[in-house]
């Protein structure tokens, strides 16, 4: 399954014989920095793909804001009528409903951003109409097998085999959004994890920048897992050269799993693909590799030289021959003066390539020693094949542009509660505002707000029965494949102790409560709920209320509060994480200050298998409670986190995106 961010990359995938190509549109794509496709362009390419036996999948895998719903539905309608993609890849629960209402006839695949990370949740995905689940990139081989063994009938799995690794768990990264409204959940991530960071008095290093994933010769055991139906190559921002060579390599590994020469050829092809330095990451549990090596090179492309200075000119001498059409990147993307330069003429190995000044530049901005990377090639043979396929596109005319008349059927508003009572076995309605303080450990002294506790055995044993029945019990944002049994046991123990109200931080965690009708389920903030259709899906799953995505600004909170299908809550104060990660460089300390080039402080803390990366300052919107109450919000959450002794107390707080327009 090949990525394509533009027409040439799509045609390269077809030329390589890809079984499927996944693409994004100009809107609702989690790779908005790719060129992406218009409906008319994609209709022709998809028709060519069908003629060549290549399926087209469309990624509409972003968070859907409250005012985006109708536009998303119209786009699905136009896709169905003009492109007829084989599948949609979605993150937001709203897309499942909108696809059905728009009459979409293809498959619905849950993106890795939907964060379905544990086996018990797979049945919930199938119940909602998903045909496929894209697995997290953090899983090892044994965990993939657990997911495959638990996969229900008519559901299959997709696994990443090659490409960039995010440092943080997909769907659990708010880093870019927290620093300025460019949401990774909306495809706008500015990749703060790729920056230089400083710990203590050390030199700045790329402490959170991962090498690429490449399962290459380790893919053989996946062939025996019937439910693992697709091998996915990451890279919708890559060029046709990368697409062609990675597809050809993994075809060889799939079709010749026991052929040593085929494996060798495949590895040579991957070496030509110009990705970052790669590793098998944690895929082999007995030989896990730490994908974050701060002292190693992690930039995309192949290192081919370093900038030198000759009087007033900058130049480099490439380590391999450069051809016209090749692209080189000078410097890192977070480095002043960095740029991508097309090669206009052949430059021999160890020849001289002068670096032109940027427009308006008066002197050299790049220091000597700046690294130069070959990031894309335009080999004549590949471009010839692409040109031949372009000619075939003439047989597939673009459809006549027609505006969609699709109008969604909006979900019903939640009934207004008149009291605290609830029907036998039913959820407890939220009738008036309440404040919840979420603790890591039971506090000493009197509790003024309603308490919330993270559901862990070390906490559960310390909470008295009387308080356990009054408290909210929060499940973690990420539960890994081997942890289903643990959390089923903890829920059973908590219920025996009187617990009734549980906050689930992924919709799929509802699987733990199918046999517990007397519990009240609340969708937590990590469910990333941001629109009424998603709220309605949660209601159908049995949730009684929802604490919505805290990165939403006021303008979206206002729209969402108008006749919502469920009562709403909001994180009003406390330590909201930059991100949650399963990876962490060995040199990164816990509970110590880590500084960015902009002097932003962060610290890392480990809970279970997850590393929580916290900003060095908290969210504080307490002065806005009255505003939210007037809008109709019922629950206000404060997330407490013990402050690390060695991290300086901040003089600032954050309003998150309250006054911004979330991109």
Range 278-296 average pLDDT:
92
pLDDT digits (tens, 9 = 90+) for 461-493: 999 999 999 999 999 999 999 999 999 999 999
Closest to 338 in 3D by CA, of 194, 209, 123, 453 = 194
Question: Can you tell me which residue has the tokens 């929060």?
Answer: 474
pLDDT at 418: 52
The rounded distance, in Å, linking the Cα atoms of 152 and 148 is: 9
What pLDDT is attached to residue 335?
Answer: 79
Rounded distance between C-alpha atoms, residue 513 and residue 498, angstroms: 15
Structural domains of the chain in order of their starting residue, each with its CATH number: 2-165+211-238 (3.20.20.70), 302-376 (2.40.30), 434-576+618-639 (3.20.20.60)
**Rounded Cα gap, residues 171 and 112, in angstroms:** 7
Least confident of 64-73, 109-118, 358-367, 610-619: 358-367
d(CA 232, CA 154): 20
Between CA 16 and CA 52 the distance in angstroms is 11
**Please, what is the average pLDDT of the chain?**
93
Please, which pLDDT band fits residue 548 given cuts at 50, 70 and 90?
very high
pLDDT of 420 reads: 42
- Convert the pLDDT of each residue in 554-600 to its tens digit: 999 999 999 999 999 999 999 999 999 999 999 999 999 999 988 99
Query: Would you state the pLDDT for residue 359?
Result: 62
pLDDT of residue 402: 86
For residue 512, give the nearest of 537, 538, 491 by alpha carbon: 491
pLDDT at residue 423, as a whole number:
37
Which region, left, alpha or beta, applies to residue 18 given φ > 0 means left and ψ of -120 to 50 means alpha? beta
Per-residue pLDDT of 587-604, as tens digits, reads 999 999 999 988 999 999
**599 class by beta-carbon count within 10 Å (0-12 exposed, 13-18 middle, 19+ buried):** exposed
User: Within 128-212, where are the H helices?
Assistant: 141-150, 175-178
Looking from the CA of 11 toward its CB, the CA atoms found within 13 Å total: 17
464 contact partners, CB below 8 Å, separation of at least 6: none
Pairing type for strands 601-607 and 610-615 reads antiparallel
Residue 429 has pLDDT above 60, yes or no: no
Q: Residue 386 pLDDT more than 60? A: yes
Of all residues in the chain, the percent with pLDDT exceeding 70 is: 95
DSSP string over 538-596: HHHHTEEEEE--TT--HHHHHHHTSS-SS-EEEEEEE---SEEES---TTPPSSS-EE-
Confidence check: pLDDT of 446 > 60 = yes
Average pLDDT for residues 304-318, to the nearest whole number?
90
3-state SS class at 170: coil
Structure tokens at 644: 């690390």
Mean pLDDT score, 33-39? 79
**pLDDT score for 431:** 59
């Amino acid at each position: 399954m090949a990525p394509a961010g533009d027409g040439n990359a799509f045609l390269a995938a077809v030329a390589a014989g890809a079984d499927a190509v996944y693409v994004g549109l100009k809107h609702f794509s989690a790779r908005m920095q790719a060129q992406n496709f218009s409906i008319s362009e994609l209709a022709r390419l998809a028709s060519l793909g069908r003629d060549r036996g290549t399926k087209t999948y469309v990624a509409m895998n972003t968070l859907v804001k409250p005012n985006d719903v109708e536009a998303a539905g119209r786009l699905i309608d136009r896709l169905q009528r003009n492109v007829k993609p084989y599948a949609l890849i979605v993150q937001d629960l709203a897309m499942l409903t909108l696809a059905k209402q728009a009459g979409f006839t293809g498959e619905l695949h849950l993106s890795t951003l939907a964060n379905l990370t544990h086996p018990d949740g797979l049945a919930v995905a199938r119940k909602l109409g998903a045909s496929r689940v894209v697995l997290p990139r953090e899983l090892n081989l044994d965990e993939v097998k657990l997911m495959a063994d638990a996969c229900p009938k008519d559901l299959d799995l997709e696994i990443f085999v090659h490409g960039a690794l995010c440092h943080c768990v997909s769907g659990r990264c708010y880093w870019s959004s927290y620093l300025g409204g460019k949401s990774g959940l909306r495809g706008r991530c500015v990749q703060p994890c790729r920056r230089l960071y400083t710990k203590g008095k050390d030199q700045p290093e790329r402490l959170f920048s991962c090498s690429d994933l490449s399962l290459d010769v380790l893919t053989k055991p996946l062939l025996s897992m019937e439910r693992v139906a697709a091998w996915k190559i990451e890279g919708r921002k890559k060029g046709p050269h990368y697409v062609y060579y990675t597809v050809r390599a993994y075809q060889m590994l799939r079709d010749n799993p026991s052929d040593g020469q085929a494996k060798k050829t495949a590895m040579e092809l991957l070496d030509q693909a110009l990705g970052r330095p790669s590793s098998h990451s944690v895929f082999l549990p007995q030989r896990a590799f730490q994908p974050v090596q701060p002292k190693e090179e992690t930039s995309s492309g192949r290192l081919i030289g370093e900038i030198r200075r000759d009087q007033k000119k900058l130049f480099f001498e490439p380590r391999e021959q450069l051809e016209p059409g090749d692209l080189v990147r000078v410097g890192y993307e977070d480095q002043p003066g960095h740029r991508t330069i097309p090669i206009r003429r052949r430059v021999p190995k160890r020849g001289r390539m002068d670096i032109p000044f940027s427009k308006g530049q008066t002197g050299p901005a790049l220091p000597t020693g700046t690294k130069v990377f070959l990031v894309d090639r335009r080999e004549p043979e590949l471009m010839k094949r692409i040109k031949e396929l372009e000619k075939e596109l003439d047989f597939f005319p673009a459809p006549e542009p027609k505006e969609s008349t699709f109008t969604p059927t909006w979900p019903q508003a939640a009934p207004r509660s008149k009291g605290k009572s609830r029907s036998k076995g039913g959820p407890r309605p939220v009738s008036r505002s309440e404040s919840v303080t979420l603790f890591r450990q039971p506090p000493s002294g009197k509790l003024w707000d309603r308490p919330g506790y993270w559901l862990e055995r070390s906490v559960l044993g310390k909470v008295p029965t009387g308080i356990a029945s009054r408290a909210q019990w929060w499940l973690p944002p990420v539960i890994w494949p081997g942890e289903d049994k643990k959390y089923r046991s903890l829920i059973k123990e908590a219920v025996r102790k009187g617990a009734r109200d549980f906050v689930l931080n992924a919709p799929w965690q509802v699987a733990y409560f199918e046999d517990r009708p007397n519990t009240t389920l609340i969708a937590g903030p990590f469910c990333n709920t941001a629109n009424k259709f998603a709220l309605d899906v949660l209601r159908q799953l049995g949730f009684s209320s929802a604490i919505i995505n805290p990165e939403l600004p006021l303008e979206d909170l206002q729209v969402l509060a108008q006749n919502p299908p469920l009562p709403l809550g909001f994180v009003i104060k406390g330590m909201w994480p930059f991100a949650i990660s399963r990876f962490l460089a060995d040199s990164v300390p816990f509970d110590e200050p880590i500084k960015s080039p902009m002097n932003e402080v962060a610290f890392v803390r480990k809970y279970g298998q997850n590393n929580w990366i916290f900003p060095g300052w908290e969210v504080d919107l307490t002065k806005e409670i009255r505003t939210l109450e007037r809008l109709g919000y019922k629950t206000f959450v404060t997330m407490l986190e013990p402050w690390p002794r060695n991290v300086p107390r901040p003089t600032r707080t954050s309003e998150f995106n309250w006054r911004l327009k979330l991109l």
